[in-house]
Amino acid sequence: MTQQAEAVFSAEQFLQSRHSVRQYVPGTVISDEELNELLELASLAPSSWNLQHWRFLVIREQANKEKLLPIAFGQQQVVDAAAVVVVLGDLEANKVAEQVFADATPEIRAQMKQQIDGAYAGNERLARDEAIRNAAFAAQQLMLAAKAKGYDTVPMGGYNPQALIEEFAIPERYIPVVMLPIGKAAQPARVTGRLPLSHQTIHERF
Ligand SMILES: Cc1cc2nc3c(=O)[nH]c(=O)nc-3n(C[C@H](O)[C@H](O)[C@H](O)COP(=O)(O)O)c2cc1C
């Protein structure tokens, strides 16, 4: 087997190894350094116009994790995980265009800004779709980064978004996309299957 083929094979196994873990070893500490490594890797996710629509609301203090429990309808993983990262989507991601294109020529920067602001202007639906779509890429990448560093995760949509916004003072600019406990597995994940590829895939056209 060539080196390249081996690498492809192990990446495949790695992808197969991520499962949603719902029971974590309580009291596990994830250091700033480890956490930042995960977030840096997650931030390599692609995004439209490279606007990086995600924000990571990191919750590690036990008292704050306890506050998440009723918000997440009693799902214990939010308390026992080492950290809960709430991935938020930026509804005003167009505002960072200047910064993203800081190294471009003034002409390119102005052109990109015009294009992006044009797309966002008066288009709340687009802003929301973009926020959710792009933040979801970062969330997936964060789960894989965590797995690569020996942690497990479970993506969660089962929480009350309004209660979350109020409790953690999330500004109107941001929309909660997914809640992501990260921790050391106390119990393995439930085995899940997938629907057949023939259900999932449409070739060429409907
Ligand atoms: C958007 C989204 C929301 C989810 N919400 C929850 C949740 O609130 N609680 C939970 O235990 N699992 C939740 N899950 C995890 C799914 O149940 C899980 O991904 C699915 O059963 C497939 O299993 P696997 O992740 O182990 O492959 C969610 C997954 C996604 C993608």
Question: For residue 31, what pLDDT is reported?
Answer: 97
Q: Which residues contact 15 (CB under 8 A, 6 or more apart)?
A: 144
2: pLDDT strictly greater than 60: no
The C-alpha atoms of residue 78 and residue 18 are separated, in whole angstroms, by 18
Q: Higher-confidence residue: 111 or 9?
A: 111
Output the CA 156–ligand 1 centroid distance in Å: 6
Closest to 158 (Cα-Cα) out of 39, 63, 79, 68:
68
Residues 89, 83 contacting (CB under 8 angstroms): no
Question: DSSP state, 134?
Answer: H
Ligand 1 contact, 13 CB (< 6 A): no
Ligand 1 contact, 74 CB (< 6 A): no
The C-alpha atoms of residue 164 and residue 166 are separated, in whole angstroms, by 5
169: pLDDT strictly greater than 50: yes
The C-alpha atoms of residue 129 and residue 189 are separated, in whole angstroms, by 31
The whole-chain average pLDDT of the chain stands at: 96
Output the CA 176–ligand 1 centroid distance in Å: 16
Ligand 1 contact, 75 CB (< 6 A): yes
Residue 86: inside a domain:
yes
Closest to 142 (Cα-Cα) out of 81, 100, 93:
81
Residue 35: inside a domain:
yes
Residue 206: inside a domain:
no
CA 145 to chain centre: 11
The C-alpha atoms of residue 206 and residue 194 are separated, in whole angstroms, by 21
Structure token digits, residue 196: 């057949």
Q: Which residues contact 185 (CB under 8 A, 6 or more apart)?
A: 21, 23, 24, 25, 152
Closest to 53 (Cα-Cα) out of 114, 120, 111, 137:
137
> What letter represents residue 198's amino acid?
S
Residue 13: inside a domain:
no
Ligand 1 contact, 70 CB (< 6 A): no
What confidence category does residue 141 fall into, taking pLDDT thresholds of 50, 70 and 90?
A: very high
Residue range 60-76, pLDDT digits in tens: 999 999 999 999 999 99
Residue 56: inside a domain:
yes
| Domain assignment of residue 192, given as a range | 23-200
Residue 62: inside a domain:
yes
185: pLDDT strictly greater than 60: yes
Residue 151: inside a domain:
yes
CATH number at residue 149: 3.40.109.10
Ligand 1 contact, 67 CB (< 6 A): no
Residue range 146-166, pLDDT digits in tens: 999 999 999 999 999 999 999
Output the CA 194–ligand 1 centroid distance in Å: 13
Residue 156: inside a domain:
yes
Ligand 1 contact, 160 CB (< 6 A): no
5: pLDDT strictly greater than 90: no
Question: For residue 1, what pLDDT is reported?
Answer: 47
Number of domains in the chain: 1
Question: For residue 15, what pLDDT is reported?
Answer: 95
Question: DSSP state, 87?
Answer: E
Question: For residue 4, what pLDDT is reported?
Answer: 59
What confidence category does residue 84 fall into, taking pLDDT thresholds of 50, 70 and 90?
A: very high
